[in-house]
Amino acid sequence: MKKIAAFDIGSNAVRMARASVSNEGEFNFYARERQPLRLGTEAFTQGYFSEHTMQEFERVFLEFKKLMNHDGIESYRAVATSAYRNARNSEELGVRVFEKTGIRIDCIDGQEEAALIRKAIQTQIDLNAKNYLLFDIGGGSAELTYLERGRAKGSISLPMGTVRLLEIGKRAEKEGIGAELGYRTYLSELGPQIKEFLHDVYGETKPLRIVGTGGNFKRLSRLRKRILGKKNIRYILPDEVAVIREALEDTAYLNRMKKFGLRHDRADVIIPAIYIIEKVMGYIPVKKIIAPDIGLIHGLLHDLAYPHEQSSSSSFL
**CATH assignment at residue 188:** 3.30.420.150
Same structural domain for residues 204 and 260? yes
Q: What angle do helix axes 238-249 and 215-228 make, rounded to 10 degrees?
A: 80
Same structural domain for residues 138 and 89? no
Same structural domain for residues 136 and 90? no
Sign of CA dihedral 38, 41, 46, 47: positive
Domain for residue 86, yes or no? yes
pTM metric for this prediction = 0.90
Same structural domain for residues 129 and 207? yes
DSSP 47-63: SS--HHHHHHHHHHHHH
Domain for residue 117, yes or no? no
Domain for residue 162, yes or no? yes
CA distance 157 to 37: 23
Query: Domain residues for 98?
Result: 2-110+299-305
Total tally of structural domains belonging to the chain: 2
What is the chain's pLDDT, residue by residue, as a tens digit (317 residues)? 899 999 999 999 999 999 999 988 899 999 999 999 999 999 999 999 999 999 999 999 999 999 999 999 999 999 999 999 999 999 999 999 999 999 999 999 988 999 999 999 998 999 999 999 999 999 999 999 999 999 999 999 999 999 999 999 999 999 999 999 999 999 999 999 999 999 999 988 999 999 999 999 999 999 999 999 999 999 999 999 999 999 999 999 999 999 999 999 999 999 999 999 999 999 999 999 999 988 999 999 999 999 875 443 344 33
Closest CA to 110 of 81, 152, 133, 145: 81
Same structural domain for residues 156 and 245? yes
Same structural domain for residues 238 and 185? yes
Same structural domain for residues 94 and 238? no
Closest CA to 238 of 274, 196, 267, 197: 274
In this structure, are strands 105-107 and 75-80 parallel, antiparallel, or unpaired?
parallel
User: According to the model, what pLDDT value does residue 106 have?
Assistant: 97
User: Phi-psi category of 150—alpha, beta or left, where left has phi over 0 and alpha has psi -120 to 50?
Assistant: left
Which helix (H) or strand (E) is 138 found in, with range?
none
Same structural domain for residues 37 and 92? yes
